[in-house]
Amino acid sequence: MIAEAQIVLFRFPQTDLQNGKLRPALVLRKLPGRYNDWLICMISSQVEHEIPDFDEVIVPTDADFSDSGLKVSSLIRISRIAVVDGSILLGKTGQISNERLKRIKQNLSRWILPD
């Protein structure tokens, strides 16, 4: 069963719509309605691509890192979001803390609804 804060695997499409590699993604929220659609964001090991005060970096010394299922320091790329059908999410590798999920959602909402 898919749930918010889970880290799952799926083929994140490239910006040119070509098939991407199998990558981890963070489940942000189920979309309302009758479809099995989920808002997710990409996770990358390329932490140098971080957009400060927007993206979220998770490192091995973080309290929720061991539960995440990630192998190395990673960047939760809020700028790389997608809506996907739950059927293409290929299983849970772990999950992040509710506190981190809340911070990510707040960053996303601040961006969408600027002052």
Q: Note whether residue 19 is domain-resident.
A: yes
Q: Note whether residue 80 is domain-resident.
A: yes
Q: What does the pLDDT read at residue 92? A: 92
CA angle 114, 40, 66 (to 5 degrees): 105
Q: Note whether residue 46 is domain-resident.
A: yes
- Strand, helix or coil at 2? coil
Q: Note whether residue 58 is domain-resident.
A: yes
Q: What is the pLDDT of residues 25-82, one digit of tens each?
A: 999 999 999 999 999 999 999 999 999 989 999 999 999 999 999 999 999 999 899 9
Domain that holds residue 55: 6-112
What number of CA atoms fall less than 13 Å from residue 50's CA on the CB side?
14
Q: State the CATH number of the domain containing residue 30.
A: 2.30.30.110
What is the count of structural domains for the chain? 1
Q: Note whether residue 1 is domain-resident.
A: no
